[in-house]
Structure 1
């Protein structure tokens, strides 16, 4: 590309940006399909959510349904959901790091999501 200045580099940069956009869309779809699990109360409550953090289900051991223990049950449910969402955030961060490294981007670079 003689005589065109930096246009060759610009074309290469545009191609890399398109590749990044495609890979990010693929990763978003993969994260939406990946299920992570959080638990509380030694497994009495289990929460499932996507790696994007969307809650998809709860499993509650029926032995904890005692009227006098209502607040304990509520706390266990919340703890399981928070654990699942924490695991989802960690999974998303891990996938983002893996993707940025594969693209040769600096470690810890924040991408737009």
Structure 2
């Protein structure tokens, strides 16, 4: 029984190290969110940090700043949604078969 418990603990420690490595690697993965047919592009990494925003010149209309704000918001939300998909794909391998609500 004791040997079985030690083996299980070793497996858990190994999985924890793999999870930490996968989580760290997410920082290097990037996704682009776009809006307005590519008028605004927001790039985020796997840690949900916005690392770049590109706004095409045509999107800048001083008489309609509200539209530009909406495009930036939409592109940002698109990027963050894609980050969630990447995180779920990468980290889901560790929670497969486990019912752990709120884990990721």
Cα RMSD (Å): 1.7
Q: Between 47-56 and 86-95, report the one with greater CA deviation.
A: 47-56
* 8 Å CA contact retained: 2:33, 2:79: yes
* 8 Å CA contact retained: 1:53, 1:85: yes
The higher radius of gyration belongs to 1
Matches within 5 A, 1:67-106: 67-101=62-96, 106=97
Aligned to 1:38, the other structure's residue is in SS state strand
Q: Structure 1 length normalisation: TM-score?
A: 0.83
Query: Which residue is 2:34 aligned to?
Result: 39
Q: Matches of 1:111 and 1:12 in 2, distance apart? A: 27
Q: Between 81-90 and 62-71, report the one with greater CA deviation.
A: 62-71
What stretches of structure 2 of length at least 5 have no aligned partner? none
Q: Compared with structure 1, are the counterparts of its residues 100 and 111 closer, same or farther at alpha carbon in structure 2 (3 Å cutoff)? A: same
Of 25, 28, 33 in structure 2, the residue corresponding to residue 30 of structure 1 is: 25
What stretches of structure 1 of length at least 5 have no aligned partner? 1-5
Q: Structure 2 length normalisation: TM-score?
A: 0.90
**What's the offset of the Cα at 1:107?**
6.0
* 8 Å CA contact retained: 1:97, 1:108: no
